[in-house]
Amino acid sequence: MALHNLVITVVDGGKSATHTNSFSKNKEGSNNEDNPKDGLLYKTLNYNQTIKNKLNDKMPSTTYFAMESAFQIAKQTTRQIANYYISDIGRSNGDSDYQAQVNRTVEVVGDVGGLLGGALSGAASGSMFGVAGAVVGAVVGLASSAISTGFKYAEKERAYQHERFKENTSQAYNLARANYSVFTGRVR
């Protein structure tokens, strides 16, 4: 994040041209109609960046940096408090299986949110190219998130099957060592 505006001055044959890092205004200060970042779709899907840009234009960089840091700390604190209380539900009720169910529900909600977030992120990235770009970006973002989530669950299933195999093998081995058979009076 730059704390100061960047100004580039190019001198060519005695003529001078100045360019700033602002995409929304040209040299005279009027709005640039050719810029796709000025469109309503782009601004709506990239509302976070739009708000940041508006705030950054209206206040000093140090104040903006302090506000952004305070917001990030508040967001992190809220998440940690929620995580702390959610992770204590099973202990407070004395039921570890209930805690496992709560954790699983939180994970599923997080995965669905990840899919939606991937679609929105893709749409925000593609919105620079209009409605068609937003749609293509949303599809690509959703597909990318779905592939990632699918492999996550495939890995979980493989780990579960491996654990079941180890438990079944261990049980068969222990039964064989204990000599469970018809002749010893015990049936396998």
| Whole-model pTM over 0.75 | no
Length of the chain, in residues: 188
Q: Which of 107-116, 163-172, 179-188 has the lowest mean pLDDT?
A: 179-188
Q: Over the stretch 70-89, which tens digit does the pLDDT of each residue have?
A: 888 998 999 888 888 888 88
| Per-position b or e across 5-36, b if 16+ CB within 10 A of its CB | eeeeeeeeeeeeeeeeeeeeeeeeeeeeeeee
Q: Over the stretch 108-119, which tens digit does the pLDDT of each residue have?
A: 999 999 999 999
Token duo for residue 37: 């970042």
Q: Which of 26-30, 71-75, 98-102, 144-148 has the lowest mean pLDDT?
A: 26-30
| Alpha helices by DSSP H, 27-178 | 40-45, 47-58, 61-86, 89-93, 96-126, 130-177
Round to whole Å and give the CA distance between 59 and 162.
Answer: 57
